[in-house]
Amino acid sequence: MVGNPDFQTISGQDQAPELQEIGTPEGELHLRFFITGEEEFALPATGIRRIIEHAPDHITPVPNVSPLLLGTLNEQGRVIWVADLGQFLGQAKPMNTDRAEIPVIAVEDQGTMLGLAVHQIIGTDWLDVDELKVTATPSDATAPFLKGEWPLAAGKSLRLLDHIAILRSARWVA
């Protein structure tokens, strides 16, 4: 194959191909998502175990548990509790489950896994944690679970959640 003329350059000499410069991403990888149509949040990718999208009928309701929990989901033989993240963070209106699929972000810490149901997943982005600002006036419900925020255009912000604080919260037993 090396003698094949298709593998040689025009001059017949071996030449190094032009290298493309690949930039090194700055910051840390985060998953961006909406809890409601307007509130954008992020979670560090290191704490995310998987992203699941299933029809609402795949989430099995469980009686006599916290109203923040939508139920359980069987994902590859593992039972995952699924929570309405918006309600957990103090949203008055529960998640609309009358739709084709519900995006669930499964977070894990020390063997404990929890699925966080959200409105919409945007994707991943490299975000510089050094540019994170301390949240000026978070609501009482979200304050213990926020690490800070990045300012966005049009006066909006991207809020960074602490998945470990969410997993260890006493709100799950209420």
Pairing of strands 112-117, 28-34: unpaired
Task: Record the pTM.
Answer: 0.81
- Give the rounded percent of residues in the chain with a pLDDT score beyond 90: 47
pLDDT at 7: 45
**Is the pLDDT assigned to residue 79 strictly greater than 60?**
yes
Q: What is the pLDDT of residue 98?
A: 86
Q: What is the mean pLDDT of the chain?
A: 83
Q: Is the pLDDT reported for residue 169 higher than 80? A: yes
Contact 30, 43 (CB under 8 A): yes
* pLDDT for 137: 65
Q: What is the pLDDT of residues 9-62, one digit of tens each?
A: 444 455 554 555 555 677 899 999 999 877 899 999 999 999 999 899 999 999
Strand runs (DSSP E) across the chain, as ranges? 28-34, 40-44, 48-54, 69-75, 78-84, 102-109, 112-117, 120-127, 146-151, 157-161
* pLDDT tens profile 119-155: 999 999 999 888 888 865 666 678 889 999 998 888 8
Distance of CA 33 to CAs 14, 75, 100, 153, Å? 48, 21, 18, 16
Question: Chain-centre distance of CA 74, in angstroms?
Answer: 19
CATH number among 2.40.50.180, 3.40.50.720, 3.30.230.70, 2.60.120.260, domain 28-173: 2.40.50.180
Question: What local confidence, expressed as pLDDT, does residue 129 receive?
Answer: 85
